[in-house]
Amino acid sequence: MLAVAVVVLALGGYAATRGRTNNAPQTVSVTYEVTGSPGSVQIRYHDSEGHLSEPRTVTPPWQTQVLVRDKSGMLYIRAERPGSSNEPLTCRITADGKSIDRRQSAGGFVFCSGYFGGN
């Protein structure tokens, strides 16, 4: 009888913990990229907290990587050449190696956006 009670308690404990999930925040490695012909490009992107970064002037090819917490929202990058330049630009966003968005423009302005599909 004691052996039966031990087995029942053990199985009950297993069943109670089986449905639990880890609620700890997970992070996703997001890479933002801008490519195109050399020359000044102003960029802005969503940082690790989901806030729009301050404008930065960079020269393509350029990339940065940020760690984003699950469910943090939208991913976004924009790149714009100053003045009326029509040089092509391409942007790309990947999350943990998975392509989220890629766009190309011949008009000197391009943006990419999307979600990484967190829990």
pTM: 0.76
Q: Does residue 5 fall inside a structural domain?
A: no
> Is residue 49, in this structure, part of any structural domain at all?
yes
Q: Which CATH number does the domain housing residue 41 bear? A: 2.60.40
| DSSP E strand boundaries for 1-119 | 27-36, 41-45, 56-58, 62-69, 75-80, 89-95, 98-105, 109-114
Please write the tens of the pLDDT for every residue from 5-57. 444 444 444 444 444 456 666 889 999 999 999 899 999 999 988 899 999 99
Domain hosting residue 36, numbered range: 28-116
Tens of pLDDT, residue by residue over 93-108, are 999 999 999 999 988 9
